[in-house]
Amino acid sequence: MPRKLAAGNWKMNGLEQDVSVIKTLAERHAQAGIDVLICPPATMISACAGHGIAVGGQDCHAAVSGAHTGDISAEMLADAGATHVITGHSERRADHGETDADIAAKSQAAYRAGLKAVICIGETLGQREAGTTLEIIDGQLAGSVPDDATAENTVIAYEPVWAIGTGKVPTLEQIGEVHAHIRQSLVARFGDGAGFTLLYGGSVKGSNAAEIFAVAEVNGALVGGASLTADDFSPIVTALEQA
């Protein structure tokens, strides 16, 4: 069975004082029967690690080291205490021109460093309105997920681009359709694809988490803004515990 995962992506937010959020979450959910992950800025990974909540990076470079000013390798993330790294987030795809091949290379770098890759996929509003969502998902799965992906080293996060930070949420039927399609695709490709954890991301909050987690093949969430405070993220973790 896929493991349940409540993951938070802090993006470019957070200072040393915000380690208190990690500590509070650990206190509230120390006995949780699910996995809880926070991906803070790289500057905070070391400080956030070791408090009982898994910590991850938001991106990594495909190379181990080299002349890549400003970049961080998967090995550096692991050295700082990370256990996961997000690859292929739509903001990286859009703002930095990352391709599926780039994302596959970064995901393989995560495996090399012993990290679990949280690989993001999802369609834009134009693609959704054009009726090509599943075609886009198929292309991103094929191009972004390495051939050596397993349920132990990879999480798939479906994040419709048009729902991220907008307050817009797909219908439960739309979420269910895409998640079922992803599961079928993983089973067809990997055989044991039934074990992959599948996350939904896009304007998830405490008020809608329970109904989203009730959708078949939704094993958790990748949360943005609502993960920045313990009071906002904790209800989402609790909803997943109870799902």
Catalytic residues: 89, 159
Q: How many helices (H) and strands (E) does the chain have?
A: 10, 8
SS (H, E, C) 90-139: HHHHHHHCCCHHHHHHHHHHHHHCCCEEEEEECCCHHHHHCCCHHHHHHH
In residues, how long is the chain?
243
DSSP secondary structure string for all residues of 19-44:
HHHHHHHHHHHTT-SSEEEEE--GGG
Q: Which of 186, 125, 89 is nearest to 133 (CA)?
A: 125
CB 233 within 8 A of CB 227: yes
Paired residues of 36 in beta bridges = 6
Paired residues of 39 in beta bridges = 9
CA distance 205 to 165: 11
CA distance 144 to 240: 27
